[in-house]
Chains A and B, each alone.
Chain A
Amino acid sequence: MQMFLTTLVLALREIRRHILRSFLTILGIVIGVSAVVTMVTLGNGATAAVKEQISSLGTNILQVRPGQGFGRGGGGATPPNFDLDDVAAIRGQVAGVRAVAAQAQSSGTAIRNAANWSTTINGTTADYFDVQPWPLTSGRVFTRAEEQAGKAVCIIGSTVYDNLFRGEEAVGERFRIRDLSCQVIGVLSKRGQSGFGGDQDDVVIMPLKAVQRRFTGNREIRLMLVGTDPAYDTAAIQSSLQSLLRERRRINGGKEDDFNIFDTKQISDTLTGTTTILTRIVTAVAGISLLVGGIGIMNIMLVSVTERTREIGIRLAIGAVAREVLLQFLVEAVALACLGGILGLILGFVASISIAPLMKAPFIFDPQINLIAFGFSALIGVVFGYFPARRAASLNPIDALRHE
């Protein structure tokens, strides 16, 4: 223990004495550790951000669209849209369905006084707010009566509110959208970007019938949102939903579906899986740079042993035993590596805390990776410091003293 303390004092003195060289020696470790920590932290942040964005689409929701894939038809005739009978059938016949919201979309420019704003018009049923909870900051959602009558009432997203009302009271006010004068009954809370980059708050929600009658001019439904009961197996609901729709759309035998059912949870798993894999790959690359940093330490320590041959000779001559010289160089390497590790952690912390906002990902401090990266840098000090240290300890004092 006494010997260890002595060598620790010697090693720290040596590091302080060659401050620039010591810093350059550990630069590789600093970069390696900070790269590992930054990559893992940012990767975790990105995964969390993806999860967050996906969950903003709603959990326990199946999206049902005509056609296969994302909005593309089956190649031949455009597959027919759904209608309200489909909605009623799903609600009535599929077990585990909590609510079904139909959606018809259009777009147009909303005008109020001098302000105008181009936005998405979303026609839906009151079920929409049961399928995916979306709190209002003020006002109310539309009633069944308003829904049935297709009244010109609307609930506006926060982006629309910001552009048309700019902080004024909106509920009860009217604005015009594509020649239709509509009354604001509610304002939605802010939801942010969707997982696919669109602004979810740039929307005007109206009763389905109002949109169909005034804007789309038909009774068709482009999207159904099926809210499922978490107690039921999503896959089972999905398959009974599929057979019901095949039956209703008269798709027989081996023919492919002309609609698709999109499970948000599934997409969430896929995307988070992807970010996790990417994080691992980038971390592995960063880990290699940490290893290279370790080789850098060995390199400098070997040079340092040669350069300090005389010094080692002096130490041996005045009575240092080989063990003490070995320990001194080993402790020096480990102290350097640990110092590099600490600087790397600090740099990694600063880097990830400043890059995370640019990536629109949250900063999540992960103590585990910080510990692992630091432990690994200390280990590198031991492994790569041992060889030069043994060489220093095995020097013959007479030859070492004679060394020029």
Chain B
Amino acid sequence: MPVPAAGGAGRVASKADILISLRGVTKTFGQGPTAFQALKGVDMDVRKGDFIAVMGPSGSGKSTTMNILGCLDVPTAGQFLFRGFAIETLDRDQRALLRRRYLGFVFQGFNLLARTTALENVELPLLYRGEDRATRHRMGMAALDKVGLADWWDHTPAELSGGQQQRVAIARAIVTQPDVLLADEPTGNLDSERSVEIMELLTDLNRQSGITVLMVTHEPDMAAFAHTVVHFKDGLVDRVEANHRPGVVPALN
């Protein structure tokens, strides 16, 4: 499915390996005297195949940025290029189609459908892509296998541990083979052992499947798995750190 292009949005010359680029992105909530400017001009580039951890205190604008990057929200002003397309000009349905085709989401609270088997949860995005039953089953099982839960396909979330639920959520996010995986505090509800397992899984997906990972986290231990750590402060990118030894957790050394 091609990226739905709105009128006026055209391909903009960019470096080949830049997947996402934000330029002067602002976001204001509300109007008049109660208006609150959450983003004050964010500039940010995401390279294809990168593993980025987004950090910052609450209210720093990192969640708003993630919502915009996830095409769940639109910037008030500024430019958002995804694969060279100007996303800020897309309407609601076009953004939904973009999410369906290119993005995968993992949430802190897992957000699996209750009373629904792991396989059915994983198959859900394929259902919206109109895949037939056999294809859904095959791709769903492959995704579950990737997260090491192929044997648990017929279990409902209530029958799975937190770590397993998050793995199912990751399987759901990658089943469509997205370009970008957006993870919003994926280890926030897990103990440190499970957290490390999830981070290792994300690292594997990043390395082996070439999925670009964007992750919000509060924990430096988890951020240490990323190649790049972007720090937010007061609605702006404060600083960008490159991590040359990703996966080596300082606390464990």
Contact = CB atoms under 8 A, between A and B. Distances in A.
Interface string B94-118: 0011111101110100010101100
At the interface, is chain B mostly helix, strand, loop or mixed?
helix
Interface residues of B, number: 29
Nearest to B110: A314
Given A2-B130, A6-B130, A317-B105, A322 B96 contact: yes
Contacts of A313: 111
Contacts of B107: 401
A314 B113 contact: yes
Interface in A24-61: none
B72 A397 contact: yes
Contacts of A324: 128
B116 A10 contact: no
Interface string B76-101: 00000000000000001100111111
B172 interface: yes
Q: Which one of A311, A313, A320, A322 has the greatest number of beta carbons of chain B within 10 Å?
A: A320
Nearest to B156: A17
Contacts of A317: 70, 72, 99, 105, 111
B122 to A, nearest CB: 11
Nearest to A316: B96
Q: Which one of A9, A317, A322 has the greatest number of beta carbons of chain B within 10 Å?
A: A317
At the interface, is chain A mostly helix, strand, loop or mixed?
helix
A315 interface: yes
Given A17-B115, A398-B73, A322 B93 contact: yes
Contact of B128 (A17, A320, A322, A397): A320
Interface in A289-335: 310-311, 313-324
Contact of B67 (A3, A322, A398): A398
B93 A318 contact: no
B97 A321 contact: yes
Nearest to B92: A322
Q: Which one of A3, A319, A322 has the greatest number of beta carbons of chain B within 10 Å?
A: A319
Contacts of A144: none
Contact of A320 (B70, B96, B98): B96
Nearest to B98: A319
A248 interface: no
Interface string A373-403: 0000000000000000000000001100100
Contact of A319 (B67, B99, B115, B116): B99
Interface of A: 2-3, 6, 9-10, 13, 17-18, 310-311, 313-324, 397-398, 401
18 contacts: A2-B130, A6-B127, A13-B116, A13-B120, A18-B115, A310-B111, A314-B111, A314-B124, A316-B96, A318-B124, A318-B128, A318-B173, A319-B96, A320-B100, A321-B96, A322-B93, A322-B96, A397-B72
Given A318-B104, A321-B93, 10 more contacts: A3-B130, A6-B127, A317-B72, A318-B99, A318-B105, A319-B96, A319-B97, A319-B99, A321-B96, A401-B107
